[in-house]
Amino acid sequence: MTEQPARRLLLVHAHPDDESINNGATMARYAAEGARVTLVTCTLGELGEVIPPGLRHLTGAALGEYRRGELTAAMAELGVADFRLLGGAGRYQDSGMMGLPDNDDPACFWQADVDTAAAHLVEVILEVRPQVLVTYDEHGGYGHPDHIQAHRVAMRAVELAADAGWEIPKVYWNRVPRTVGEQAFARLQGDLAALPFGKAGVLDDVPGVVDDERITTEIDGTGYAAAKSAAMAAHATQIEVSGAYFALSNELAQPLFTTEYYELVRGEHGSTRETDLFAGIEVPGIESPGIEGTS
């Protein structure tokens, strides 16, 4: 049996591209530092809106397979070798936006039995034995059914894995501190004229925005900004990147964050803000207090 890296990080996301937008810099940084970074993606995003006109013929399963290729390219940019689809390719399909008839498809992730789906994730947890898991909050960051379900499945899998013999010490939800978002959108207004996007989005477009005091952890990924940007650009059906900004199919510009923020929801942290997802976890041969600044 191959010996595991000392630090092991598991991320659970809904569709290809979510990981690069939310955690690309974090993933690239930990992968470069020798941690095992494992990504589990719950669907292939078969219902995503396609940006490039030349690819708009892709729909359904064909789009999902294409996005699987984009995910592979993005992971190469981030240096992540271990990425999987929950339950295997095609197990769960994209559910579409909340309130659409697609939500009622028995094959979609939104309709999946949570315990059954969580059992697939438990298999990964028991193999990888992560000390840290990252996923969305209970609203999925912005209310998409697949994001909400990814949250439910991930949190249930944490419980089931503990019963099966592996307790994950720390669980985080993706966040953006409100003041950081406000400052970034203010800069965007000044830069908008030079960008290829029609107009700017608003802070409410960004998933997981919370008041600053809820942020427990910030990961400085500025050294991996190019990797994150390249990974996002690899998801070309879904994302258009321009410098420090990007847009989705709505063509509304928003900031590309290279410092990424988290809220610790399971595990212990100190009175000051962490700078390491593994802070407080005893890892042989690695000193990582990861505490600085104020929360």
What DSSP assignment string belongs to 222-266? GGGHHHHHHHHHH-TTT-EEETTEEE-TT-EEEE--SEEEEEEEE
- Residues 163, 132, 77, 43: is their CA dihedral positive or negative? positive
Identify the pLDDT of residue 287: 53
**15 belongs to an annotated ligand binding site:** yes
13 has binding-site annotation = no
Whole-number pLDDT of residue 269: 80
The annotation status of 147 as a binding-site residue, yes or no, is yes
Given this model, what pLDDT does residue 198 score?
Answer: 85
Per-residue pLDDT reduced to its tens digit, 226-285: 999 999 999 999 999 999 999 999 999 999 999 999 999 999 887 789 999 999 998 765
Provide the pLDDT for residue 294. Answer: 37
Total-model pTM: 0.94
Cα–Cα nearest to 135, from 125, 149, 124:
149
How do residues 195-215 score in pLDDT, each as one tens digit?
999 899 999 999 999 999 999
Q: Is residue 119 part of a domain?
A: yes
Q: Is residue 37, in this structure, part of any structural domain at all?
A: yes
| Position 114 in a domain | yes
Q: For residue 2, what pLDDT is reported?
A: 61
Structurally, the chain folds into a number of domains equal to: 1
Question: Does residue 117 belong to any structural domain of this protein?
Answer: yes
Query: How many CB atoms are located within 10 Å of the residue 127 CB?
Result: 12
Task: List the one residue out of 181, 212, 180, 209 whose CA is nearest residue 295.
Answer: 212
Identify whether 166 is part of a domain: yes
- Give me the pLDDT at residue 292, please: 47
Dihedral angle at the C-alpha atoms of 212, 226, 253, 140, nearest 10 degrees?
-50
CA geometry: angle 133, 137, 142, nearest 5 deg? 130
190 in a domain, yes or no? no
pLDDT in tens, the chain (295 residues): 467 889 999 999 999 999 999 999 999 999 999 999 999 999 999 999 999 999 999 999 999 999 999 999 999 999 999 999 999 999 999 999 999 999 999 999 999 999 999 999 999 999 999 999 999 999 999 999 999 999 999 999 999 999 999 999 999 999 999 999 999 999 999 999 999 998 999 999 999 999 999 999 999 999 999 999 999 999 999 999 999 999 999 999 999 999 999 999 999 887 789 999 999 998 765 554 454 443 3
> What is the three-class DSSP state of 37?
strand
User: Structural domain of residue 104, as residue ranges?
Assistant: 8-177+207-231+258-266
CATH of the domain at 90: 3.40.50.10320
Q: Is residue 187 part of a domain?
A: no
Are the C-beta atoms of 179 and 228 separated by less than 8 Å?
Answer: no
Q: What is the CA radius of gyration of the chain?
A: 18
Let me know if residue 293 belongs to a domain: no
